[in-house]
Structure 1
């Protein structure tokens, strides 16, 4: 697989805060995403969940199925129960030609709760990590046997948020579990995306190129805002419009011979940040960063 550039529909509509882009059609998302230059889309709440319908609508726009988020609940159910719960989503991705699934443990998560500040996010005790990792590896093993690699998404407001959390996750899981690098989330969590690439690059199978406006982030932390309030204030943007050094990240990925997708995923209010304008800006900036890093894109 060569490196392709995709996008998440969050630029147009938001799953965590459905009022953002509520009236935006799937047709607008796909047609504008294609116009901006993207090769594929991740799933969102407006996409069909039947394989034939999903594959048909993407084919109409000459777009690939990149991946799709699954809300894991291994802290509240067994690995066997999780495998049953994940099956429909797994088959949807598999039949759509995707070989990676975005996975995040959401038991107790607060990223979708606008009234709760991020300081109240759930955590795991040291003794819980071993069992969690064992079960997660079991689920990842099953998905991989079906041809789809789990890409764990460290995410604000969840049990795996910080660099230390990522270290523990990698320590307690097998190689069947891949890592999703989200440059925006790890920056928000006081981490360094480049350091994560250097430390865990061999496990990275999917990349979200979310940029961060550091002045907005500082204000969000000073006021202990919720994740959604920070999003509404404009903490995230497309790559090249914030303060993250993507040339350095892309250089490190090239040195690791990364072969997955680069996905623009930038939650913003589409009424303020015109989706086509920002989608185009993000695509063009990724091309520029890739050239500077000598990272070859499809």
Structure 2
């Protein structure tokens, strides 16, 4: 198999809304992820950021470190300053054998603010896109030289949220800037992950597999509720339990020779959506489609 199946700890504990899963230990997360059969996990807020500590926590479970989120501020500082700021994170990922970093611009972001409506998300002014893309390309080349790939994560509540935003980023940067294709976030934003997979298959470095419950999404959009309100109401679920057409998403990735991780990332309220049950369901569905 060329792809590997991983999971994000958001299934157990939420980074943006820490009260969700606050009582679930890191050991429970790792033990259950391994029990279900995942090969790796991404970082979460309960993970130690010292490779000498984290490595021995992962190894008894046979889990690799898949990647980990890094918050960019390229609208506020240049690429050199950003590269310097990310050194501890880059060192942690590198020490544990990871060569892909999940990156998202967080200047003005609203996704962690439970009071912010979806319509309040930040946007990049038309005249600032060229500078933003130039800095992104410069940073990606610095990271490449250090053995790390930049996988840009389009995300609700950030400046790169919509399909149009993704297109402007991809068109404005060279191939050093790669894409984290998140099926759930793109669907939430009104985009089409199948179209994105077809357009950018050769530049996809990482895949987050979260599905969407369309009935919940419709209500959240109609109310202009917050992103976190959508999470709590269950807008996201594991692949195979919503409306995303995963066979159609995966076909162009397979055709382009994608050999990275397929990561279940479906933040839900663990008191409503039992983490072990949903982790198992997500893996069983993905394993039927992986290549």
Range into which the TM-score falls when normalised by the shorter chain: over 0.9
Question: Using the alignment, how far apart are the partners of 1:145 and 1:251 within structure 2?
Answer: 31
Question: Using the alignment, how far apart are the partners of 1:85 and 1:230 within structure 2?
Answer: 32
Note the alpha carbon deviations across 1:133-156, whole angstroms, 9 max, x for none.
111111111111111101000000
Note the alpha carbon deviations across 1:46-75, whole angstroms, 9 max, x for none.
111011111111111110010000011111
Unaligned runs of 5+ in 1: none
Q: CA RMSD in A?
A: 0.9
Q: Secondary structure at the match of 1:111?
A: coil
- Report matched runs for 1:12-161 at 5 Å: 12-161=12-161
Note the alpha carbon deviations across 1:68-91, whole angstroms, 9 max, x for none.
000111111121211111111001
Give the count of matched residue pairs. 291
TM-score by length of 1: 0.96
- Report matched runs for 1:141-290 at 5 Å: 141-288=141-288, 290=289
Q: Please list every run of at least 4 consecutive aligned residues from structure 1 whose deviation after the TM superposition is greater than 6 angstroms.
A: none
Deviation at 1:258, TM superposition (A): 0.8
Farther off after superposition, 20-29 or 77-86: 77-86
Question: Using the alignment, how far apart are the partners of 2:173 and 2:133 within structure 1?
Answer: 5
- Report matched runs for 1:4-15 at 5 Å: 4-15=4-15
CA contact (8 A) 2:207 2:263 kept: yes
Deviation at 1:2, TM superposition (A): 2.5
Question: Using the alignment, how far apart are the partners of 1:175 and 1:52 within structure 2?
Answer: 33
Question: Using the alignment, how far apart are the partners of 2:14 and 2:120 within structure 1?
Answer: 22
Unaligned runs of 5+ in 2: none
CA contact (8 A) 2:197 2:250 kept: no
Q: Secondary structure at the match of 2:101?
A: strand
Question: Using the alignment, how far apart are the partners of 1:253 and 1:141 within structure 2?
Answer: 23
Question: Using the alignment, how far apart are the partners of 1:191 and 1:213 within structure 2?
Answer: 15
Q: Secondary structure at the match of 1:67?
A: coil
